[in-house]
Amino acid sequence: MNALNIQKGMSSHSAYDLRDPHAQTEESHTLAIMVENEPGVLARVIGLFSGRGYNIDSLTVAEVDHAGHRSRITVVTRGTPSVIEQIKAQLGRIVVVHDVHDLTVEGPSVERELGLFKVQGQGDKRVEALRIAEIFRANVVDSTLESFVFELSGAPSKLDAFADLMRPLGLIDMARTGVAALARGA
Amino acid sequence: MSRMMTGARMVVEALRDQGVDTVFGYPGGAVLPIYDEIFQQNDITHVLVRHEQGAVHMAEGYARATGKPGVVLVTSGPGATNAVTGLTDALLDSIPLVVLSGQVPTFMIGTDGFQEADTVGITRPCTKHNWLVKDTDKLAETIHKGFHVATSGRPGPVLIDIPKDVQFATGSYAGPKQTDTGSYQPVRKGDLAQITRLVELIEQAERPIFYTGGGVINSGPAASQLLRELADATGFPVTSTLMGLGAYPASGKGWLGMLGMHGLYEANLAMHGCDLMINVGARFDDRITGRVADFSPGSIKAHIDIDPSSINKVIRADVPIIGDVGHVLEDVLKVWKSRGRKVNTAGLKQWWAQIEGWKAKNCLFYRPSDTIIKPQHALQRLEALTKGRDRYVTTEVGQHQMWAAQYLDFDEPNRWMTSGGLGTMGYGLPASIGVQMAHPDALVVNVAGDASWLMNMQEMGTAVQFRLPVKQFILNNERLGMVRQWQQLLHGERYSQSWSDSLPDFVKLAEAFGCKGAQVRDPADLDDAIQQMIDYDGPFILDVLVEKHENCFPMIPSGKPHNEMLLGEAETQGVIESEGAVLV
């Protein structure tokens, strides 16, 4: 039966996806989920993840089309390729979910996150914190004699790096929005 | 042309517009306005149940026996929470239900009011979709949407929670045609390229098999007809899951019997040894696959399913076809015929010879007895004495359920109602009542075990009240038979809590409910007892005292592949290893 060139494990929705479907390594994927903006819709999406044991690394949600009652949920999740496929299929089953886009495989995308960082310190440490903030192009949005609140947006890895540098300089509090993402191009 | 009416009247109006003739329910404070409307009309019969779980299982039985959605009406709080088991059962078995629940008035929601529960929160994971309606103007369209969602795509239960003030308030009624259901339109037609690939494989396969499931039955009678046509024209063997029995007739020439954990030897070995597996509307449940890593290792797998999330969930599909079974089978037949109806005749001949060898094992053999009734024998006699009748069978859950699936024959779809996915003890009695409501003149038998049957026995009151002649065929072994079997095989014969002590006298119980009962313990009296049950004009409980320690075989032990199944008593010692013991 091999004359037909059909191999075990071939899948219809992987024509442009050359990853090994049997791979056991976990990958991080950013999913954009367009949903009907109605009460309980976020609970449905989150409940799916917890109920079926999937991971959520980050989640953002906001209405993006008031007239069309559409909200956009951006989820960063982790799993083996087959788990990611399953997550997308399960999301697609939810009656009020219109579309699920896997921005990680559908082409280049931009991912941005906003963070607020409170750094407490005096003397050299305070000067150093300000200097690093300038390198990162963070804004100072609050200042006292012994603290700053910095506002920084960028890729999540940039926020991670900033937090790592600020930690020895007196980082005492941090708030992050989670990832918002869009595909590049039109 | 919108008509103004109260929310409560809208409910009745919407049900009428949806062609509903029967509602299963139980009144309470938060649904009184709807019950007031039900009182004032005659188009819809309301079946008063004894417990809301019973209402949902009745609606499931009704839905499975008719192909129409079952409708349930319950009150807020405990009424809704009692419905949860039935909703979960219907979700796992893909049964279309519309459940309407009352809720405290909108201004009291969140105050922990009397009989308040977060019904949409509680039922979110056990419904296909649910709604809380806060505006009477949206009530009618929500109900119509509910019917659309419950019955389109992969069917399932929906719940609509209606606060009491919404029932009292007046709003404009929207009919089904004025309701926009456009946003939920699952794909029905399969991809033609994949269908063509499947046909190419059908033409060449040496050892093919159809593995069919509940999706064939859910797709409607036409799908069963197409399956029969395709299977008989190709000459391929057919096996089915518990859920799919009857889609292909047990009398058909390709029939191998049920597959899976307690499936037939020939069906399971054919699944293990096939080179082309055509999954038609089944979902590779763990009862079917056994150890996934060793599941049918040498086959190319085609999977037809209307739910994209079923594809590749457990078993990787080589030829995935997303679509409605009926539409896809129609296209498969069309393409296959247009290409000249080719099959690999030589390969098929050898394949059938191999299958006949497996059949010769006679895997359903059991040691007969003339002193005690063997449960298998009781089912064989039930089959013989009801053959050719307009018969519907429901079951509870356990050994008796598996024996019923093995020993009863189904030649038509929608004749077999059993709790497959959730395995809900207490399903069968209320389901039999729902079936009988749909088919008043048919013979409806609930094959039960003593323990399961007690779980919803209060519904005998419903059967008596509505003069529904349901036959309760209780295989009484005074045990939780399947639990006892697992304890014997897996837990060193320590029979922890798996016997039925203080069982009621079922004959007196029948009398207490105002129906008829009988007990039989001698195999010589069995036929007469079954005949008496069938002939009696009313609900009947037959207490069949059977062998207490009979085990259900064949059995694929947990964690084992299909080709390591057990056929009988001698083989059962120490067969399940510790890794298998953690599985259920």
Residue B548 confidence (pLDDT) above 60: yes
Q: How many CB atoms lie within 10 A of CB A110?
A: 11
Q: Are residues B333 and B211 in the same domain?
A: yes
| Domains A24-102 and A109-183 fall in the same CATH topology | yes
Interchain contact, A4 vs B125, CB within 8 Å: no
Name the residue among A6, A22, A86 with its Cβ closest to that of B309.
Answer: A86
Q: Domain for residue B478, yes or no? A: yes
Domain positions in chain A: 24-102, 109-183
Residue A118: CA atoms inside 13 Å, Cβ hemisphere, count?
A: 9
Q: Domain for residue B561, yes or no? A: no
Q: Domain for residue B579, yes or no? A: no
CATH label of the domain that carries residue B503:
3.40.50.970
Q: Are residues B90 and B157 in the same domain?
A: yes
Average pLDDT of the residues in B256-282: 97
Interchain contact, A86 vs B319, CB within 8 Å: no
Q: Are residues B145 and B16 in the same domain?
A: yes
CA angle at A33 for the pair A29 and A37, rounded to the nearest 5°: 155
As a whole number of Å, the CA-based R_g of chain A is 21
Question: For chain B, what percentages of helix, strand and coil (3-state, to nearest 5) are there?
Answer: 45, 20, 40
% of chain B at pLDDT higher than 70: 97
Residue B72: beta bridge partners?
Answer: B24, B99
Q: Are residues B169 and B72 in the same domain?
A: yes
Closest CA to B558 of B540, B575, B541: B575
CA angle at B369 for the pair B367 and B372, rounded to the nearest 5°: 125
Residue A10 confidence (pLDDT) above 50: no
Chain-wide mean pLDDT for chain B?
Answer: 96
Q: Are residues B138 and B52 in the same domain?
A: yes
Last residue of a domain, one of B326, B359, B392: B359
- Measured between alpha carbons, how far is B401 from B424 in angstroms, rounded to an integer? 11
Please report which residue ranges of B339-440 form alpha helices under DSSP H: 345-359, 375-386, 399-407, 428-438
pLDDT at B522: 98
| Residues of A whose CB is below 8 A from B194 | 12
User: Which of B305, B309, B322, B339 to mutate to test binding with chain A, by most A CBs within 10 Å of its CB?
Assistant: B309
Least confident among A19-23, B460-464, B540-544: A19-23
pLDDT at A3: 45
Q: Domain for residue B482, yes or no? A: yes
Q: Are residues B543 and B419 in the same domain?
A: yes
Residue B322's closest chain A neighbor by CA?
A12
Closest CA to B240 of B275, B206, B201, B283: B283
Name the residue among A12, A36, A47 with its Cβ closest to that of B125.
Answer: A47
pLDDT at B300: 98
Confidence of residue B560 (pLDDT cuts 50, 70, 90): confident
Q: Domain for residue B367, yes or no? A: no
A85 touches chain B (CB under 8 A): yes
Q: Domain for residue B568, yes or no? A: no
Closest CA to B465 of B40, B58, B83, B79: B58
Interchain contact, B132 vs A39, CB within 8 Å: yes
Residue B311 confidence (pLDDT) above 80: yes
% of chain A at pLDDT higher than 90: 85
Confidence of residue A18 (pLDDT cuts 50, 70, 90): low
Structure token pair of residue B561: 């592949």
Residue B553 confidence (pLDDT) above 70: yes
CATH label of the domain that carries residue B258:
3.40.50.1220
Q: Are residues B379 and B406 in the same domain?
A: yes
Last residue of a domain, one of B126, B150, B178: B178
| Residues of A whose CB is below 8 A from B206 | 1
Tell whether domain A109-183 is in CATH 1.20.1300.10.
no
pLDDT at B579: 64
pLDDT at B65: 98
Structurally, chain B folds into a number of domains equal to 3
Q: Domain for residue B331, yes or no? A: yes
Confidence of residue A4 (pLDDT cuts 50, 70, 90): very low
Please report which residue ranges of chain A form alpha helices under DSSP H: 41-51, 81-93, 124-135, 156-166
Confidence of residue A24 (pLDDT cuts 50, 70, 90): confident
Residue B120's closest chain A neighbor by CA?
A40
Residue A38's closest chain B neighbor by CA?
B131
| Residues of A whose CB is below 8 A from B198 | none
% of chain B at pLDDT higher than 90: 93
pLDDT digits (tens, 9 = 90+) for A85-109: 999 999 999 999 999 999 999 999 9
Domain membership of residue B432 as a residue range? 375-552
Q: Are residues B440 and B497 in the same domain?
A: yes
Residue A114 zone, left/alpha/beta (φ > 0; ψ -120 to 50; rest): beta
pLDDT at B75: 98
The set of catalytic residues of B is 52, 114-115, 164, 482
pLDDT digits (tens, 9 = 90+) for B432-457: 999 999 999 999 999 999 999 999 99
Residue B43 confidence (pLDDT) above 60: yes
Residue A16 confidence (pLDDT) above 60: no
Are the CB atoms for B387 and B439 separated by under 8 Å?
A: no
Angle, nearest 10°, between helix axes B52-66 and B84-92? 30
Residue B120 confidence (pLDDT) above 60: yes
3-state secondary structure of B103: strand
pLDDT digits (tens, 9 = 90+) for B143-162: 999 999 999 999 999 999 99
Q: Domain for residue B565, yes or no? A: no
Interchain contact, A4 vs B200, CB within 8 Å: yes
pLDDT digits (tens, 9 = 90+) for B178-193: 998 878 999 899 999 9
Q: Are residues B415 and B501 in the same domain?
A: yes
pLDDT at A111: 96
Q: Are residues B520 and B411 in the same domain?
A: yes
Name the residue among A6, A89, A98 with its Cβ closest to that of B197.
Answer: A6
Specify the fold of A24-102.
Answer: Alpha-Beta Plaits (3.30.70)
Q: Are residues B58 and B104 in the same domain?
A: yes
Please report which residue ranges of B387-518 form alpha helices under DSSP H: 399-407, 428-438, 450-455, 460-465, 481-490, 506-513
pLDDT digits (tens, 9 = 90+) for B189-213: 999 999 999 999 999 999 999 999 9
Residue A1 confidence (pLDDT) above 50: no
Chain-wide mean pLDDT for chain A?
Answer: 90
Q: Are residues B343 and B462 in the same domain?
A: no
| Residues of A whose CB is below 8 A from B318 | 6-10
Interchain contact, A82 vs B276, CB within 8 Å: no
Backbone phi, psi, residue B163, to 5°: -60, 150
Last residue of a domain, one of B154, B178, B202: B178
